[in-house]
Amino acid sequence: MNSKCIEMRLAQQHEKEKIIAIIIDAIEFNPKIQYLLGNKNYDRKVKALARFIYSLSHRRRAIHVSEDGHAVLIFMPHFQWSKNWKDILDYCKMFVTALEWKRLFAILKMEKELEQFRPTQEAYLYVWVLGTLKEHKGGPQARELRDALFDIAHKAQLPIYAETAFDQNYRVYQRFGFEAYHTQDYPHIPLTIRFLKKEVS
């Protein structure tokens, strides 16, 4: 971690559409997302899912952006995942507009299985989305957000958890110092989900 104090800022309302575009770019080729949404009307459904992610995250003040606004990191303390009535309405809307209905029971079963691999007895920070505008991929923005997150985790003395079904993201997390503590395979899809942890330094 750099000795220099790295800052990141909360997203502003006027950045909403740009942030949603970054979320779409971050999730659209994710194998798990492709399974959840199915092939029919995929572009429309991934936009609906991105708006759902934005809505839940913005309500929790969990959307952080790089100084230039070209990269997004969505993370929150574990306890902020508790759902309120607005969240439930958003989930219902997302189910109707985004998910592949013929796979609904399989999706619910999968989510119940995956839940058992997420920690329940410790406080932690959870990373949901890390993305950069296409024209800025490979730039310093993601590293800036990483360093700011690590600084927050260090000060709070909290580990960081994440999960991914995207091999490219897995390699990024590895470079960032995360280690896989569980791998869940669904060969019939096919789909592999890796659960990751970064110990507090």
Cβ atoms of 160 and 24 within 8 Å: the answer is no
Q: What band does 37 get if pLDDT is binned at 50, 70 and 90?
A: very high
Distance separating alpha carbons of residues 96 and 101, to the nearest angstrom: 8
Helix, strand, or coil (residue 30): coil
Question: Mean of the per-residue pLDDT values for the chain?
Answer: 91
The predicted-structure confidence for 49-67, as pLDDT tens digits, reads as follows 999 999 999 999 999 999 8
pLDDT exceeds 50 at position 1: no
For residue 81, the Cα-to-chain-centroid distance in whole angstroms is 13
Distance separating alpha carbons of residues 62 and 131, to the nearest angstrom: 14
pLDDT exceeds 70 at position 2: no
The predicted-structure confidence for 10-33, as pLDDT tens digits, reads as follows 999 999 999 999 999 999 999 999
Instruction: Single out the residue of 63, 65, 66 nearest to residue 74, CA to CA.
Output: 63
The predicted-structure confidence for 124-143, as pLDDT tens digits, reads as follows 999 999 999 888 787 888 88
Instruction: Single out the residue of 174, 195, 169, 185 nearest to residue 117, CA to CA.
Output: 195
Strand order in the sheet with 191-198: 9-10, 63-65, 71-77, 125-132, 160-164, 191-198, 179-186
Q: What is the pLDDT of residue 80?
A: 84
φ/ψ of 197, rounded to 5, equals -140, 140
Q: What band does 6 get if pLDDT is binned at 50, 70 and 90?
A: low
What does the domain layout of the chain look like in residue ranges? Answer: 9-198
What number is the average pLDDT over the span 149-161? Answer: 95
Distance separating alpha carbons of residues 197 and 173, to the nearest angstrom: 9
pLDDT exceeds 60 at position 121: yes
Ramachandran sector of residue 57 (left: φ over 0; alpha: ψ -120 to 50; beta: rest) = alpha
As its CATH architecture, domain 9-198 has 3-Layer(aba) Sandwich (3.40)
- Count the neighbouring beta carbons within 10 Å of the beta carbon of residue 105: 9
Helix, strand, or coil (residue 127): strand
**Which residue type occupies 87?**
D
- Residue 10, token pair as written in the block: 């909360």
Distance separating alpha carbons of residues 37 and 99, to the nearest angstrom: 5
